[in-house]
Amino acid sequence: MSEAIRQESPLVERITPERKAASPAGAGITLRERPFLGCINLRGNPEDANFTDAVQGVLGVALPTEPNTVVESGDITVFWLAPTEWFVRTVADGERDLIARLEKALAGQHIATNDVTGNFTTVELSGPHARDVLEKGCTLDLHPRAFAPGQCAQTLLSHAGILIRPVQDGQAFELVVRRSFADYTFIWLEDAAVEYGGLAVSD
């Protein structure tokens, strides 16, 4: 009998009970990983009402068509990536059902749905110095006047490609990181947070 495949977070070696217990009390930034969320790359024509209406019927929210914007409803979050491309995120293990429902609703249309769940993890950063830490390695203007909730962007954090969105003005951000860059990103954030009291990790 074959053994069941064990699912492991990309940061399983970094976010441990010991590391959580040792988190500095005065940390200026707190990191929380949300691994295993379902991730789908969706492509289609936003000018085709048959496509947009069908997608909205499945997702429960209209696709964002304004560049670098994000919308969410319930367990669904949709990031604009390009004029004909979106990153759809759902609950853990929800991607297969969602893809099946999208493909059924979009049958006969020129679209693409790809399960990219295994490629990414989501990291939440919060705290009074979250923006200060990120700005050390990101060339975007992350000030709320330029980058506010409802927006998103594909950019670099040092050498790691990320998809970032603010969830609270200057105080909390969400990073979608490729699995292969997750460990690098954690180490970079930990180092960058030293001058702000260190990096705390939480559940």
Q: What is the CATH number of the domain that holds 77?
A: 3.30.70.1520
Structural domain for 107, as ranges = 38-117
Does residue 58 sit within a domain? Answer: yes
Give the end of a domain, one of 80, 96, 117.
Answer: 117
Q: Are residues 161 and 126 in the same domain?
A: yes
Identify whether residues 126 and 173 lie together within a single domain: yes
Phi and psi at residue 63, in whole multiples of 5°? Answer: -60, 135
pLDDT on residue 8: 86
Predicted TM-score of the model (pTM):
0.93
pLDDT in tens, the chain (203 residues): 455 667 889 999 998 989 888 888 889 999 999 999 999 999 999 999 999 999 999 999 999 999 999 999 999 999 999 999 999 999 999 999 999 999 999 999 999 999 999 999 999 999 999 999 999 999 999 999 999 999 999 999 999 999 999 999 889 999 999 999 999 999 999 999 999 999 999 98
Structural domains of the chain, count: 2
Give the pLDDT score at 1: 43
> Are both 184 and 196 inside the same structural domain?
yes
Query: Given this model, what pLDDT does residue 140 score?
Result: 96
How far from 135 is each of 62, 119, 131, 139, 191, CA to CA, in Å?
A: 31, 25, 6, 7, 13
Contact between residue 174 and residue 120 where contact means Cβ atoms under 8 Å apart: no
Which of 104, 103, 112, 101 shows the shortest CA–CA distance to 45? 112
Are 155 and 90 in the same domain? no
Please give the pLDDT value at position 3: 59
Q: Both 198 and 130 in a single domain?
A: yes
